[in-house]
Structure 1
Amino acid sequence: MSGLNDVLNKLSERSQASLSELIEFASIPSVSAQPDHKPDMERAAQWLSERLKRAGLGTVERWPTAGHAAVYAEYLDAGKDAPTLLVYGHYDVQPPDPLEKWHTPPFTPTVKGERPSQQRLYGRGVSDDKGPLLLTVQVVDAYLSALGSLPLNLKFLFEGEEEVGSAHLNELVAQNAERLKADFVLSADGGMWSAEIPSLTVSARGLAALELTVRGPAKDLHSGRHGGSVHNPLHALATLIAGLHDESGRVTVPGFYDGIAKLTPQQREGLRQLPFTDEDYLTQTGAPAVYGESGYSTLERQWHRPTLEVNGMWGGYTGEGSKTVLPSESHAKITCRLVPGQEPGRIAELLKQHLEAKLPPGVTLDIHPSEHGARAYRLPDDHPGAAVAREVLAELYGKPPLDVGMGGSIPVLETFQSVLGLDTVFFSFAVGDEDIHAPNEFFRVPRLYEGQQAWAQFWWTLGQQRLEQPNPDQQNPEQRSNHE
């Protein structure tokens, strides 16, 4: 273990520098969803590429796509019989809106808290996913600085389109499938369930999304002169949206629940054993009460039941004061979180058919399904990477991690499984309560250092053993020199 200790000591020496690097990285407004930020996306990819080179990796490449580029790097000097991991993360971030809700500027990362153990770094992307991503690069640097080598082979794929559905990643991975061969994926994206209790995410829900536009008159009309004479698209949209759930919270779309396996008594009992209460959850979220499909607990609804959510509705006049207008259009964005047994394309089609069938008279409807979707995912119970993750987390936190689910979706999971045949082990040190995608996103500073230690130990542990059943078809191609 002396080699690992040398690496950990190097990381400890660089703790302040590691935080400063995260602040610098998170200062780049790499918002993939907004065209005005395309130069910032390029700048973030360049910053990440340079950091990988400084870490000592000789092969660092920018992989262009029809959208935003991915950054690839590799270390293959550990030998053909050593394990090979594909490390995944993303450098793009969500838009910071609404800006007025932020307590500090979203792209001026700010440390708050006097005691080091309680410090938080506030800024867009610090938790999702720049902090968890960057610490993996810092661990590589510590290994090569302290030991001159790594105990296993590593390939890094950091994309720039996760926050817009990884639209071009499937094609990119397929084009580079040979170079991306590995034993499994270790993901810096994801997150733990709780800051107090170590956890290992073993499942994630899938995703289907669409946007709809309801149209009435050819132009906005005076609501006094024309109100009551033509159907208001906002009223029609409200009717459609209200009809998507019944009084018990169940989705009313015919066929929506077809093919879904029921939770076993063992699964339900396992969830009941978790240290979770609705009261604590309401305190965390600030909601007045829990709500959802009847007959299921809050965790069952979050992890193992499908949902249909309206993410946005708009139309007409929403500015200050009054404008008596009958709008010509109304709009809504809808996403469905899926569980095993549901296909994204089929769910989107069922929703489209339902909305068309329920359309009120006097308006028309245009529906645009999203180009991206994702099936639900579950990590096999006996996966060797999960065993290493459990061992490392138990040693780091002094107690075994809980197996938990993820209510969100990561489309790249399906890409890795369908194109490369690889399972993904989540190993992120972000926490689910860190306001990702919302104002005042933050990352607990101690988690940066805990994550560094855990990733260093994970690589060390895996490097000392061989996978139980190595697949010769997934061995490394011709070795390349990466650290001279």
Structure 2
Amino acid sequence: MTAPGSAARPDPLGPEAVEDLARWVAMATVSSDPERAAEVRRSAHWLTAAMRRLGVPRAEVWETQGLPAVYGCWPAADPAAPVLLVYSHHDVHAADPREWRVTPPFQPVRRGGRLYGRGASDAKGQVMCHLWALRAHLAAGAGSGRAAPAVTVKYLIEGEEEIGSVHLADLLAEHPGELGADVVMVSDTMLWALDRPAVCTTVRGSVTATLTVRGADRGIHSGAVSGAASNAATELARVLGGLHDDSGRITLPGFYDAVADPAPALRESLADFPFDTAAWLEQTGTFAAQGEAGFTVPERLWTRPAAEVARLTAGRTDMPSLGLVPPEAGADLLLRLVPDQRADRVAEQLRAWLDARRRPGYRYLLDVSPTISDPYRTPSDHPALAALTRAVGHAYGAPARPIGNGGAAPAAQLARACDAPVLFFGTGLPGDRWHGPDEGVDLAALRLGIRALTRFLGELARSSGNSPAPPGP
């Protein structure tokens, strides 16, 4: 299928660009695996070199107490031009090769208009889109003799996003001058569909925690105690069974007190959103659309909070159960928050919820991760949002509508540190299988992304009163 907005336009994504991305995807930059730390470092140096090949005057690796980030900066010729800071990440989620069918996770392959491999969509393809768009933007201005972008472009590409951005706060505190910006753009988000141009205006926050229940000092043979001893697994199941009520609402005390209504533009957009349940189920591999009663799937994803059990453990997992009653059981919990909820307040509500469910005969431990994040909404009246909306509409050949993003991003943290509004732009799609087997990126989405970002650089300059180079493709 021909991508929207692609007729009679030059292809901004040549074979060499895809090969470059494939080389990067082949690096196993799994930040959660200490044995892959060297690969994350190699990736940081590779990206720095890629920026320098493009001509970025300042490109360097920033070390942290953990894994490195990459910083780049190309100043505009006009010191009064807007400053854009692009945030993304070069680390990837862990992958089990036994689950992959198209290709092993770090042996990228191009097939049927897609590039498969871990990180091809989340988020190495998105990072490369920005570099390719900058190249196209510079080429579009070559006729005017301009050798610099119409706006100052900065990059912060961290290496620990998949483990909670544990040292992002340190980077922001240590480099306030380098990271100063008028606008921040987070490129770690999804589109909805290639034929439905949209601009993300909200992202959910997150609180992650591990709940551990213990009912005995050791595993005991069921023949000796079955029916009379504490069972940690069944107790954990009882507690988790009360996380939602019968209508799908989360039962944390006061949880919905700060759940804000969606912005009018988003609500209007969702009212006539052309959502196809069957197509969504097929794209995501989901068996049924579930969730809070009274809301559509897009509303649940973009305007309502959520609580998920991400992992359950109990008993021996490395051998048969041996007939033992498990002494301990655990669950990883993930809560998604919406404006105007606060992550620290929700963490307190989670503790209060557990306290109300404790009972004698068990020990309970709730460990809330320190890498919680607040939700964020882009100011609806900011000129940069209008510039991005125009650019996306131009690339797709149709007006762009506002949507939300179901995942989380450190947008609120970046907004506070940079004292700047945050925009969102991504090239991921629901069928790209982020964090799952056979992750891949649709090359048509990358092409549209390049065109939109190229146009955006000029639109951003124009929105501030600067005279940009000729518009991009």
- Tell me if both proteins adopt one fold, taking TM over 0.5 as the criterion: yes
How many residues are treated as equivalent by the alignment?
Answer: 453
After TM superposition, the structure 1 = structure 2 runs for residues 223-234 of structure 1, keeping only pairs within 5 Å, are 223-234=222-233
How far apart are residue 262 of structure 1 and its match? 4.1
Residues 98 and 213 (structure 1), Cα distance of their counterparts in 2 relative to 1, 3 Å cut: farther
Superposed CA offset, 1:58-89 (max 9, x none): 21121111221111011114221222111111
- Aligned twin of 1:71: 70
Q: Secondary structure at the match of 2:211?
A: strand
CA distance in structure 2 between the partners assigned to 1:347 and 1:386 by the alignment = 29
The question of whether the paired residues in 2 share the 8 Å contact of 1:203 and 1:404 is answered with yes
CA distance in structure 1 between the partners assigned to 2:362 and 2:325 by the alignment = 13
- Aligned twin of 1:366: 365
CA distance in structure 1 between the partners assigned to 2:64 and 2:172 by the alignment = 11
- Aligned twin of 1:15: 14
Superposed CA offset, 1:117-144 (max 9, x none): xx11111110010001012223334555
Q: Paired residue for 2:464, among 462, 467, 472?
A: 467
The question of whether the paired residues in 2 share the 8 Å contact of 1:90 and 1:161 is answered with yes
CA distance in structure 1 between the partners assigned to 2:267 and 2:425 by the alignment = 25
- Aligned twin of 2:469: none
Residues 468 and 213 (structure 1), Cα distance of their counterparts in 2 relative to 1, 3 Å cut: farther
Superposed CA offset, 1:205-230 (max 9, x none): 11111111111221222122222232
CA distance in structure 2 between the partners assigned to 1:265 and 1:17 by the alignment = 43
Which residue type is aligned with residue 121 of structure 2? S
CA distance in structure 2 between the partners assigned to 1:182 and 1:439 by the alignment = 37
Q: Secondary structure at the match of 2:329?
A: strand
Which residue type is aligned with residue 423 of structure 2? V
- Aligned twin of 1:387: 386
Which residue type is aligned with residue 127 of structure 1? S
- Aligned twin of 1:195: 194
- Aligned twin of 1:43: 42
Unpaired stretches in structure 2, ≥5 consecutive residues: 1-8, 467-473
How far apart are residue 265 of structure 1 and its match? 8.3
CA distance in structure 2 between the partners assigned to 1:54 and 1:156 by the alignment = 15
The question of whether the paired residues in 1 share the 8 Å contact of 2:85 and 2:156 is answered with yes
After TM superposition, the structure 1 = structure 2 runs for residues 132-147 of structure 1, keeping only pairs within 5 Å, are 132-142=126-136, 147=142
Q: Paired residue for 2:121, among 127, 130, 140?
A: 127
The question of whether the paired residues in 2 share the 8 Å contact of 1:74 and 1:154 is answered with yes
Residues 264 and 108 (structure 1), Cα distance of their counterparts in 2 relative to 1, 3 Å cut: closer
CA distance in structure 2 between the partners assigned to 1:149 and 1:266 by the alignment = 35
The question of whether the paired residues in 2 share the 8 Å contact of 1:210 and 1:369 is answered with yes
- Aligned twin of 2:286: 287
When normalised by structure 1's length, the TM-score is: 0.88
Which residue type is aligned with residue 129 of structure 1? A
Superposed CA offset, 1:385-415 (max 9, x none): 221222222222110111101111102x112
How far apart are residue 320 of structure 1 and its match? 6.3
- Aligned twin of 2:437: 439
The question of whether the paired residues in 1 share the 8 Å contact of 2:283 and 2:430 is answered with no
How far apart are residue 264 of structure 1 and its match? 7.9
- Aligned twin of 1:99: 98
After TM superposition, the structure 1 = structure 2 runs for residues 107-126 of structure 1, keeping only pairs within 5 Å, are 107-113=106-112, 119-126=113-120
How far apart are residue 454 of structure 1 and its match? 2.2
CA distance in structure 2 between the partners assigned to 1:268 and 1:152 by the alignment = 32
Which residue type is aligned with residue 464 of structure 2? L
CA distance in structure 2 between the partners assigned to 1:138 and 1:211 by the alignment = 40
How far apart are residue 173 of structure 1 and its match? 0.9
When normalised by structure 2's length, the TM-score is: 0.90
Residue 347 of structure 1 pairs with residue 374 of structure 2: no
Superposed CA offset, 1:351-394 (max 9, x none): 11221321243110111101011111111112212212222222
- Aligned twin of 1:455: 453
Superposed CA offset, 1:414-463 (max 9, x none): 12211111111112222233111111111011222222222222223333
How far apart are residue 317 of structure 1 and its match? 2.4
CA distance in structure 1 between the partners assigned to 2:127 and 2:98 by the alignment = 25
The question of whether the paired residues in 2 share the 8 Å contact of 1:32 and 1:68 is answered with yes
CA distance in structure 2 between the partners assigned to 1:265 and 1:154 by the alignment = 31
CA distance in structure 2 between the partners assigned to 1:67 and 1:208 by the alignment = 22
CA distance in structure 2 between the partners assigned to 1:84 and 1:256 by the alignment = 38
Which residue type is aligned with residue 443 of structure 1? V
Which residue type is aligned with residue 95 of structure 1? A
CA distance in structure 2 between the partners assigned to 1:264 and 1:182 by the alignment = 25
Higher mean C-alpha deviation, range 444-453 or range 419-428: 444-453
- Aligned twin of 2:215: 216
Residues 334 and 447 (structure 1), Cα distance of their counterparts in 2 relative to 1, 3 Å cut: same
Residue 428 of structure 1 pairs with residue 422 of structure 2: no
CA distance in structure 2 between the partners assigned to 1:18 and 1:290 by the alignment = 38
Which residue type is aligned with residue 440 of structure 2? F
Q: Secondary structure at the match of 1:312?
A: strand
Q: Secondary structure at the match of 1:340?
A: coil
The question of whether the paired residues in 2 share the 8 Å contact of 1:56 and 1:144 is answered with no
Residues 44 and 249 (structure 1), Cα distance of their counterparts in 2 relative to 1, 3 Å cut: same
Residues 268 and 400 (structure 1), Cα distance of their counterparts in 2 relative to 1, 3 Å cut: closer
Residues 196 and 267 (structure 1), Cα distance of their counterparts in 2 relative to 1, 3 Å cut: closer
The question of whether the paired residues in 1 share the 8 Å contact of 2:344 and 2:372 is answered with yes
Q: Percent identity?
A: 36
CA distance in structure 1 between the partners assigned to 2:264 and 2:21 by the alignment = 44
Higher mean C-alpha deviation, range 331-340 or range 79-88: 79-88
CA distance in structure 1 between the partners assigned to 2:465 and 2:337 by the alignment = 32
The question of whether the paired residues in 1 share the 8 Å contact of 2:212 and 2:366 is answered with yes
CA distance in structure 2 between the partners assigned to 1:387 and 1:38 by the alignment = 40
Unpaired stretches in structure 1, ≥5 consecutive residues: 1-7, 114-118, 470-484
CA distance in structure 1 between the partners assigned to 2:134 and 2:262 by the alignment = 41
- Aligned twin of 2:325: 326
